[in-house]
Amino acid sequence: MTGSDEGQQSGHVAAPMSPAQSRAARGLLGWSEADLAAKAGLDASFVRAFEAGQGDPAAGQIEVLRSVLMRAGAVFTNGNSPGVRLEQRASPDEGTRLGDLTTENDR
């Protein structure tokens, strides 16, 4: 795999997440397979099979898992040293509060 989430340009397709990276990200976040599956809207058996390297899951389903993990703060690295780390955050991301919604932040 090549590339990284760090410094991506708009329109760039991210490298796929490996089963090991998924397990590591869950571990860093303290999530179970069921936790990740619920947050992604997928079945826990899908997460279990993917992380065990079984089957041939659709790239879209893997991307759903990856996106959920990234929103929680996981940063995936690839290239010579594939891995995952947690993003340094000052405070938990609460999203945009209802009173702050505008057409500008709706994009």
The pLDDT tens digits of the residues spanning 31-70 come to: 999 999 999 999 999 999 999 999 899 999 999 999 999 9
d(CA 46, CA 36): 10
Mean pLDDT of 3-22: 64
The strand pairing partners of 86, in sequence order, are 74
Radius of gyration of the chain (CA): 15
Phi and psi of 83, rounded to 5°?
-175, -165
CATH of segment(s) 19-80: 1.10.260.40
Q: Which residues contact 42 (CB under 8 A, 6 or more apart)?
A: 61, 64, 65
